[in-house]
Structure 1
Amino acid sequence: MSGVIVTGPPKADREHVEAIARFGVATVHEAMGRTGLLGTRLRPIQQDTRVAGTAVTVLCRPGDNLMIHAAVEQCGEGDILVVAATSPSTDGMFGELFATALKRRGVRGLVIDAGVRDTAELRAMGFPVWAAAVSAQGTVKATPGSVNVPVVIGGRVVRPGDVILADDDGVVVVPRERARRAAEASEAREKKEAAARAAFLEGRLGLDRYGLRDTLTRLGVTWQPYDAHASSCDAAERDGAGS
């Protein structure tokens, strides 16, 4: 495996990144047609934190963090480092020293489809991380990889410059050319949810607001008083016992 470090890739407009940052991962995922989630393996090491930024991508060999060192130079203000491995890995490839260097450069957080360590220190310094594992297992710096190339996490392609949004619910990627539309669609969805929230606070039911009673009827679901239901169940049990 040879490697390449790509410099100066195109990035989503900062204005669109900040617009997306106003919304949660679930909202953006739904607004984009239920796409973009990077799977369920990635979990936050902190709580009540949301970050958005442009991806600087890294492809490493498992158990080798050489290319993360190379990627630091390519990171800047408003970026999020996104690390994938060429095969499954849970080794602790990232820790407090990397975070110190990245925070100095204005990087907003890390998404890594592998392991992370020094989690207490990372939380204390306010550097957000979403990782597939937490492990004290160390790594080597011996094999080449690539920086700022497309990587795949959770079945989704992340390209350098795409928008990464992460919160307690997980991580979503927004293709850089769709960032403006994703922000607009997310705002529309948020307004729709606000109207539903107001209706629920007034006591309305989702069954009525969303027209779901007709859906249940069409699917053959019926409403029965308890006594009638209990009698029919008893009759069915008697018939079964007699067969």
Structure 2
Amino acid sequence: MDTVVVTDVPRAPLDAIDRLAGYGVATVHEALGRTGFLGPGHRPTHLGRRIGGSAVTVLCWPGDNLMIHAAVEQCRDGDVLVVTTASPCTDGMFGELLATSLQARGVRGLVIDAGVRDIAELHEMAFPVWSRVVSAQGTVKSTAGAVNVPIVVGTQTIRAGDVILADDDGVLCVPRDEVAGAIELAQARVDKEEAARAAFRTGQLGLDRYGLRDKLAALGVRYMTAAEYGTR
């Protein structure tokens, strides 16, 4: 492990991040060809929050949150802290005190590939967290790691400055230089879905709108009456 703290990470414009976050994780994920999703393992500690921000990445040793403290100094308004460990860890590496420090710097939330604690306090603070587990088990501050280096979280490699979107559906990573294109693709998907929604309100079926009857026939699906099925 290269034990460094990288200090001059470029970030996407906040107005572009905010616009992209407004579409939601599922919409952007589909618009980008189903790429960037971290997987189902990171769940929100509290429902109803939707955030977007620039990633400040942290690589820690299991059970050791020293580098999270080092990362706080590198955070700016509009960032999202993204933490992983060198090997699997379920300890509660983050809690109310660190959240207080991050909120003071304008950080929008935390994504952590380990555990979090002080859930009631985090809820009261309205500080959103996506984690693998909730655990009261504490940590030490003894071993050097790295800040703002590429890390792997779930199924994705995340680089400092990449855009992180998170809501009740999970967490998505969008490369920093793809944000503008992602906004265009997400808006096109929203327009397409709104047209479908309007059609469904009039009673049109997905089977007809999406041409699925022909697909069912091609797959060998047959329609039979109950009487016909019962006499087979």
Shorter chain as normaliser: what TM range?
over 0.9
Whichever of the two has the greater Rg, that structure is 1
The percentage of aligned residue pairs carrying the same residue is: 62
Q: Is the 8 A contact 1:24 1:167 kept in 2?
A: yes
Q: Is the Cα–Cα contact under 8 Å of residues 57 and 148 in structure 1 kept in the other structure?
A: yes
Give the equivalent residue in structure 1 for 2:230.
230
Q: TM-score, normalised by structure 2?
A: 0.99
Q: Name the CA distance, whole Å, in 2 between partners of 1:89 and 1:40.
A: 17
Amino acid at match of 1:192: K
Q: What is the distance in 1 between the residues matched to 2:24 and 2:229?
A: 43
Alignment of 1:1-243 (within 5 A): 1-232=1-232
Task: Find the aligned partners of 2:75 and 2:146 in 1 and give their Cα distance.
Answer: 14
* Separation of aligned partners in 2, 1:187 and 1:79: 23
Q: Which deviates further from its counterpart, 6-15 or 64-73?
A: 6-15
Measured at CA, do residues 99 and 12 of structure 1 come closer, stay the same or move farther in structure 2, by a change above 3 Å?
same
What is the Cα deviation at residue 2 of structure 1?
4.6
Q: How big is each residue's C-alpha offset from its partner over 1:167-201, in whole Å with a ceiling of 9 and x where there is no partner?
A: 00000000001011011100110111111111111
Q: Deviations over 1:54-85 (max 9, x none)?
A: 00000000100000000000001000000011
Runs of at least 4 residues of structure 1 off by over 2 A?
none
Kindly state the Cα deviation for residue 155 of structure 1 after the two structures are TM-superposed: 1.8
On the 8 A contact 1:39/1:153 being kept in 2, the answer is no
- CA distance in 1 between counterparts of 2:198 and 2:2 reads 56
Name structure 2 gaps, 5 residues minimum. none
Distance (whole Å) between structure 2 residues aligned to residue 32 and residue 85 of structure 1: 28
**1:64, 1:176 → 2: CA distance?**
29
Q: CA RMSD in A?
A: 0.7
Could you tell me the TM-score, scaled by structure 1's length? Answer: 0.94
What are structure 1's unaligned runs of at least 5 residues?
Answer: 233-243
Q: How many residues align?
A: 232
Q: Distance in 1 between the 2:63 and 2:202 partners? A: 54
Amino acid paired to 2:212: L
